[in-house]
């Protein structure tokens, strides 16, 4: 089994509260993929932007966008990841879907809701992490504000890569970069952060700043600020394994349990 993982990270502007228009936009962008990939990554709330209009924009768990993601995964023979607004029962979630090319589907509900924008008033928090196994890799996908909480991102020898999708505002972009690098170093894993660009309907500006860091904290990919980009790169899991064997910080980790989960 190959230790390599090919990624396609799409940093782009989102059309405010327009699921159909955003799906069409991504269909066009996907035509420009320069090669095959194992994983195609879209930003947080990629069909709407970071909207609190959950009641009007929510889709069912088997709705149009989920079916669309599964179709794209099958057509591109690649995993497809992104979050959308979902209604389940009487609750609304900022839900990340992971669509497999074989038709399987997994999801993660954002745990840490951004109260400064009122996200905690319009959405319910998730209560468990997701670790996806694919081609010998174990990947933990998380969403935006989750990045600020290292306990939730803690790697207890569970995964090879942290993947954050976000709508992270321009004024706090330095924190975004610093935290992505820190999560890579402290967990001795790859850390990937995909952000958006442009301005949303609430007047919030985004500059991109998407980034990828190695387990040593080395930058592996460069994105231009305020520019739409598709960045392709390949990660090698053997790099992480060899580093952990040589420098086994994880053997001295503190054991703990998160209450309420």
Catalytic residues: 44, 110, 144
CB atoms within 10 A of CB 227: 12
In order of 49, 92, 106, 256, the CA distances from 109 in angstroms are: 16, 10, 10, 22
Q: Please, which contacts does 60-67 make with residues 24 or more away whose CB atoms are closer than 8 Å?
A: 60/86, 60/87, 60/88, 61/86, 61/88, 61/95, 61/107, 64/19, 64/23, 65/19, 65/23, 66/97, 66/99, 66/105
How far is it between the farthest Cα atoms of the chain?
52
Q: φ, ψ for residue 183 (rounded to 5)?
A: -60, -35
For residues 252 and 244, the answer to whether their CB atoms sit within 8 Å is: no
CA-to-CA distance for 232 and 37, rounded, in angstroms? 8
CA-to-CA distance for 51 and 122, rounded, in angstroms? 10
Q: φ, ψ for residue 32 (rounded to 5)?
A: -100, 10
For residues 49 and 15, the answer to whether their CB atoms sit within 8 Å is: yes
Residue partners of 239: CB distance under 8 A and separation at least 6: 214, 215
For residues 8 and 39, the answer to whether their CB atoms sit within 8 Å is: yes
């Amino acid at each position: 089994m190959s230790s390599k993982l090919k990624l396609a990270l799409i940093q782009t502007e989102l059309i405010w509260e327009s699921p159909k228009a955003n799906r069409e936009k991504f269909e066009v962008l996907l035509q420009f993929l320069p090669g095959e990939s194992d994983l195609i990554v879209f930003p947080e709330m990629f069909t709407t932007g970071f909207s609190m209009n959950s009641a009007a924009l929510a889709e069912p768990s088997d709705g149009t966008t989920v079916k669309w993601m599964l179709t794209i995964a099958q057509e591109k023979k690649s995993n497809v990841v992104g979050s959308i607004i979902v209604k389940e029962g009487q609750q609304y979630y900022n839900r990340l879907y992971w669509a497999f090319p074989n038709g399987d589907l997994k999801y993660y509900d954002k745990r840490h809701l951004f109260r400064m924008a009122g996200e905690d008033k319009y959405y319910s928090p998730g209560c468990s992490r997701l670790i996806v196994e694919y081609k010998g890799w174990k990947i933990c996908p998380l969403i935006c504000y989750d990045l600020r909480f290292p306990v939730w991102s803690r790697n207890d020898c569970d995964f090879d890569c942290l993947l954050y999708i976000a709508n992270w505002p321009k004024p706090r972009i330095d924190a975004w970069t610093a935290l992505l690098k820190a999560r890579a170093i402290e967990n001795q894993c790859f850390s990937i952060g995909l952000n958006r660009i442009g301005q949303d309907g609430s007047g919030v500006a985004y500059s991109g700043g998407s980034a990828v860091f190695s387990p040593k904290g080395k930058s592996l990919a460069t994105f231009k600020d305020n520019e739409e980009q598709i960045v392709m790169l390949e990660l090698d899991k053997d790099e992480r394994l060899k580093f952990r064997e040589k420098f086994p910080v994880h053997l001295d980790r503190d054991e703990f349990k998160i209450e309420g989960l």
